[in-house]
Structure 1
Amino acid sequence: MRVSLTIKQNRSIINMRIKKLNTLLVVVTLCFAYSPVCANAGGGIINAKYYGIQEGIDNTPVLIKALEACKAQNASKLIIPKGTYGIYPERAHGAYRHIPNNDDGIKRIVFLLDGFKNFEIDGQGSKFICHGQMIPFDLKNSKNIKISNLSVDWDKPFFFQAEVVAVHPGQNAFDLAVFRECNYEIHGDELIFTNKKSKGENDWLNMAPPAQEDVRWEQNINWNIWFDPKTKAPVFNVEEAARLHTWNTKLNKPARAEELGEDLVRLYDATNRLPDVGWVLIIKGNLTKNRLSPAIHITNCKDIIIENTTVYHSSGIALIVDRTENVTLNKFNVLLPPGSGRLVSTTADATHFVNCKGLIKFDSCVFENMLDDATNVHGVYARVIDAVGDYTLGMGRGHSQQQGFVFAEKGDKIKLLNRLSLEPYATLTVESVKNINEYYFEATFREKVKDMVQPESVADNISWQPDVDMRNCIVRRNRSRSILISTAGDVVIDHNKFLDCTYAGVVIPGFVDIWYESGPVKNVIIRNNLFEDMGLGGGNAPIIDIAANINKKVSPPFYFHKNIIFQNNTINTFGRILVRAKSLENFQFKGNKINKSKNYPVVAPENGAAFVFDRCKDILIEKNDYNWGDTATIKAYNTTGMIIRGNKNIEQR
């Protein structure tokens, strides 16, 4: 029997179905809202709040569980709700890490991203406070990773800070008021600073490894620098005699410390030039290793973005990257913590790149108050020890902080050069690499090498030479140089401000010793930048220093560096020297404005040269405006192809 429904009945049924559908949608929405995983087109989004993240606790296990869930579920993003979160090493991952230009060892790691792909960590403005020796972020074997909207700091700094409150010339002594965040002890007559107080008088002599919660580090007064609290920059033109040492070689006696009261210490005979009242002493120390805890370590990765992220402190380098392709830093900052009273951010570089390739890009970054450079981009020289077969060379890693570093892999191109002349003489292709230990390895090549190798040789990996693009950045108030560049890739340094550092603005080195950092440059453009008050440490530091450590006994018929343009920059300086260059072909210095500093007195010798060239070729100095009230002079040794034209107050002598 056919039943006909009225319009009213039809409407009633439809309304009931709509009501059920709405109820179902609400249930589904609530399920997603209160689930750790939310739907996303590229994979799941996991929120750390559902794993128990909260202020006032050790969030290390919470974050580890959240990251494990991200990897297991192939999530595309980890969201961390805004807050201030403590992280501790006791329950962090443990992994041995060879970190170039830092100190190797077993590291405690919180955000361990090993083998991640297409993944983002969004801190939403969160701040992570680290406690003790640890690495908050470690990226390895990962691709297309983004870290954004967060900051990193430590509860206690890895340096000692104290203000001079009194000076006693008759005793060759001065009194220090110790900064509230710093712990110190006096062992015998020696001032030692540490991260935590010892448990007993002889605790520091205990040879048994302590439990993780009892791990402490100690440092002496060596490796130090004076800061001016008014400018927050290194003290201007402090002579070497003002440096502190545990042993005073001039007086042939040790420095001596005496505690006068709580956080008040008197130092005797630590220096031969007493500081001024008000100066602030910063000590990194060299009693033990002092580059143990970078904030971010990236190795063997590709396509990494760090955005809206700030590092306030780290033991060593804030961001260290090696063997990685394509890194973008957008508003990545290294800063003093606001309102903290600290005068130092990181105890080494802000950023450091070793044997990378692709593009390293800086945009709108601020780097301040580091105890080393804003960035250092370079390769690594490996020492050639001997030929161990027709196609195999025994090789060694040159510096102690390069031990275990991956110098080359199959398919890489290697250049051999003489370490005395820096002249390359062969290019080889790697077939295989066999690591014997952390120092020594054997590299086998497709080409025969046994009868080719010259004495005093080193090797450079020319397959890993990145391009560098730095724009709209600020570097200020740091010890050492603003930036170091040693790469054969294309380099553009444009519209940046380099302010108040103790040495040169840009250093393009060429040294096969000490650090074994490799790489001549082939194409560098430095334009539209402001360089102001370079060389606070004294010694008439250049604005740009282009170096090549070629032995004086050899005179190779080649030029180590090539094609550098320094154009349309403004230089405000108290030092006379502008350019120092050696073994350089094709250099242009044009359209620059050079003014006297308004902040510091002139320290340059009256007759000192503004330009010094040694063993260079094809130099153009054109249309520069030199406003010092006198004439800038050019000195050239063994240099050909000099063109000087259209300048104001610049001439060759």
Structure 2
Amino acid sequence: MQFLNRRQAMKLASSFAAALPLLKSAGSRAQIKPGAVVFEMAEFSKGVPDADTAFAKAFAAISKSAGEASKAGKPVPIVLNLEKNATYRIKQPLQLKRLKDFELNGNEARLVNTTLASTLLISEASRVTIRDLAIDYDPLPFTQGTISAFDHGALQITVKVDNGYPDDPKFLAGINDGFFKVMDRRTRALKPGARDFLTPSRIERVGDKLIKVVLRWSANDTFPSQLPIAVGDVVTMCNGYAHAIVVDGSLATTFYGLKLLASPGMGILENGGPGGMVLQNVSIVPGPRPVGATTDRLVSTNSDGTHFITVERGPTMQDCTFANTSDDAVNVHGFYYYVVQKTAPRRYVVSPKWDIGLMAGDEIETCEQGTFRSLGRTKIVQLTKRKAPELKARITPIWKNKSPATQPDLVYDIELAEDLPLKIADAVTSLSRIGTGTAIRRCSFHACGHVVVKSPNSVVEDCQFTYSSTIALQAGSDIGFWSEAGFSDNLTLGNNHFDHSITGANALTEGNGALGTIYIGMSPPEGTKGFANSFQNRNITIQGNRIDNSFIYGIFVGNADGVRIIDNVIGQTFIRGSFDAGKFYGETPNSGIFIGRSRNAEISNNSVARGRIAKTAVAVDRTCVRESIRLANNVLA
């Protein structure tokens, strides 16, 4: 790309300077690219009634500048500098569409969204950078308080709302799904022994800062590992709304120094496209106490912290901080597309969950229903989309017990380069749009859900995990409820430190198969038990990790071929007891490390603390190819 020098940029800008605020010199700010056209938000804020109007004017000017430069055949980088430490209260999202080499320099400013809508929408863009910006919501998109009473069935819970947190009837009326969580104010995390979540069906205001929460099921319909709720328990309540930041079909979006302090839905969602997002020194954490509050916020995002769907290249995260995401902190994945019928050799009709993530030219992996083993890899030669209401009767059973297809009569007609033995309900997934190369380094995660990496050639290193509500670090396919691909392939998990992982009670139930602070495996369809007959997680290295105070196994690996578990130090495991854990596989826990249905594994030089459950360092399940499993120098300390 050829950039204009400063003189050329100023000459180009002069053709429409009368209609635009003053353009600053490219050298007036640090880190501005040579030849950049620089706009100052202060100029757009003059004489306008609100921040929405000012931003609309700014982005109209930016679009015009970009268009003029592109028309001249000499596109230039463009920078918008926000006012230093300014606060902009907005009702409309900032839309950055089809911009290239654009930087929004926040200058430590804050965007305060006064609605439950998105704050940043970035689409069809290339090399957009968001720098040194804070995003918050006022009023907050969640509420919190203390249980003051509940009925005999623990279905109707009366909550005294903390001062400063929302309890207005309109907001409460919107909470008819989402999360109701019992928290610990001291650790600012899920209370150990609480369910990972309960779900409200409605909430209503019954007095001054007093609300009644009606749950979809009883909070005290307990199982062995769950503690009942009690008067005085601290709870948070939220629903899923719009995501704070949405990036669609874009290349190399960068967030540097971003502070995301609340979100009505996910924090950052990236949908499709080339991907390659970079997050550096980003924090997704609860913001400061609201005006009038005497308690700290216990929620940052109402659902996932970050989520990456069918991107070609996965994210790179460095030196980031996550806390109190209501669901996953990170999830990187593709989707499964299920075979509805075979129409000719190499030709199939498949049903998508979402209309995204599979295109002609993609390399695909196949997955057999039931065993979940691969039926081969090939490429898609041709793909067309159509509505097929006549096939709904065939499509519906395929999605039974799964999160349903969003467009149940949409199908893809695909032609493969090679014929494969695919049958009805077998699955295909794109290996070209699955977030390959995800890298997460030197990040911290507190009181979050999973960090989930379902992408190949990925790494999680030198990270800190504390008080994770569920599996702290998870990889492998979910071909069950969520239909999220794929299996692990060339994955390294190294030098991470974990403390108090899996506080939620659900992990210790007999129906749960995900059983480790570090878990590599698969989530099968509902109703199945035991290890599926496949070895689809390939080339896994788990090395040099420290795991302390785990509520479950330290490391659990299943359905794998080529595993190295070496030089890990595991402290106490099952610190509340084992309850029903392991019954999914017909196992009674007695170790800190467990491996099942795997082959070609080396497990060596690991240290595991002796405890009331852990009586051996490593347990190898009978489903493994035992002669290919090498154990050496594992110590029960």
TM-score range, shorter chain: 0.7 to 0.9
* Counterparts of 1:236 and 1:116, CA distance in 2: 46
Matched, 1:447 2:414: no
Q: What is the deviation of 1:554?
A: 11
Q: Which amino acid aligns with 1:218?
A: G
Q: What is the deviation of 1:470?
A: 1.1
Q: What is the deviation of 1:444?
A: 3.6
Q: Which amino acid aligns with 1:130?
A: N
The change in CA–CA distance for 1:601 and 1:507 in structure 2 (over 3 A counts) is: closer
* Counterparts of 2:607 and 2:210, CA distance in 1: 51
Do the aligned partners of 2:334 and 2:357 also contact (CA within 8 Å) in 1?
Answer: no
535-544 or 169-178, which moves further after superposition? 169-178
Tell me the alpha carbon deviations over residues 69-126 of structure 1, each in whole angstroms, 9 at most, x when there is no partner.
112112511111124434444xx4xxxxxxxxxxxxxxxxx22122111111101001
SS of equivalent to 1:531: strand
Q: Partner of 1:262 in structure 2?
A: 208
The change in CA–CA distance for 1:392 and 1:138 in structure 2 (over 3 A counts) is: farther
Q: Partner of 2:332 in structure 1?
A: 377
Do the aligned partners of 1:154 and 1:314 also contact (CA within 8 Å) in 2?
Answer: yes
Q: Partner of 2:490 in structure 1?
A: 523
Q: What are the residue-to-residue correspondences of 1:495-514 with 2, within 5 Å?
A: 495-514=462-481
Q: What is the deviation of 1:637?
A: 2.1
The change in CA–CA distance for 1:245 and 1:112 in structure 2 (over 3 A counts) is: closer
SS of equivalent to 1:70: helix
Aligned with 1:349 (options 292, 304, 315) = 304
Q: CA RMSD in A?
A: 3.3
Number of aligned residues: 547
Q: Partner of 2:252 in structure 1?
A: 303
Q: What is the deviation of 1:352?
A: 0.8
Gaps of 5+ in 2: 1-13, 27-33, 67-76, 222-227, 291-295, 389-406, 509-514, 580-587
Aligned with 1:412 (options 334, 342, 362) = 362
* Counterparts of 2:163 and 2:46, CA distance in 1: 29
568-577 or 79-88, which moves further after superposition? 79-88
Matched, 1:646 2:633: yes
Matched, 1:637 2:607: no
The change in CA–CA distance for 1:546 and 1:601 in structure 2 (over 3 A counts) is: closer
Instruction: Find the structure with the greater CA-based Rg.
Output: 1
Tell me the alpha carbon deviations over residues 154-202 of structure 1, each in whole angstroms, 9 at most, x when there is no partner.
11232231213467889998642113455447xxxxxxx6428xxxxxx
* Counterparts of 1:140 and 1:313, CA distance in 2: 22
Matched, 1:458 2:423: no
Aligned with 1:332 (options 267, 277, 282) = 282
The change in CA–CA distance for 1:576 and 1:284 in structure 2 (over 3 A counts) is: closer
Do the aligned partners of 2:39 and 2:80 also contact (CA within 8 Å) in 1?
Answer: yes
Q: Partner of 1:227 in structure 2?
A: 183
Aligned with 1:275 (options 221, 229, 232) = 229
* Counterparts of 1:309 and 1:436, CA distance in 2: 41
Q: Partner of 1:44 in structure 2?
A: 37
Q: Partner of 2:126 in structure 1?
A: 143
Output the TM-score relative to the length of structure 2: 0.78
Q: What is the deviation of 1:220?
A: 3.2
* Counterparts of 1:366 and 1:389, CA distance in 2: 51
More strand by share: 1
Q: Partner of 1:592 in structure 2?
A: 568
* Counterparts of 1:175 and 1:234, CA distance in 2: 19
The change in CA–CA distance for 1:164 and 1:571 in structure 2 (over 3 A counts) is: same
Do the aligned partners of 1:245 and 1:271 also contact (CA within 8 Å) in 2?
Answer: no
Matched, 1:604 2:604: no
Q: Which amino acid aligns with 2:439?
A: D
Matched, 1:318 2:300: no
Q: Partner of 1:24 in structure 2?
A: none
Q: What is the deviation of 1:222?
A: 6.7
Q: What is the deviation of 1:574?
A: 4.1
Tell me the alpha carbon deviations over residues 284-342 of structure 1, each in whole angstroms, 9 at most, x when there is no partner.
35xxxx2x311111121112111000111112210011223311110111011123432
Tell me the alpha carbon deviations over residues 564-590 of structure 1, each in whole angstroms, 9 at most, x when there is no partner.
111111111243512222210121211
Q: Which amino acid aligns with 2:499?
A: E
Output the TM-score relative to the length of structure 1: 0.76
Q: Which amino acid aligns with 1:546?
A: I
Aligned with 1:570 (options 546, 567, 585) = 546
The change in CA–CA distance for 1:611 and 1:80 in structure 2 (over 3 A counts) is: same
Q: Percent identity?
A: 17
Q: What are the residue-to-residue correspondences of 1:475-494 with 2, within 5 Å?
A: 475-478=445-448, 480-481=449-450, 483-488=451-456, 490-494=457-461
Gaps of 5+ in 1: 1-27, 93-109, 186-192, 197-216, 247-254
* Counterparts of 1:112 and 1:141, CA distance in 2: 11
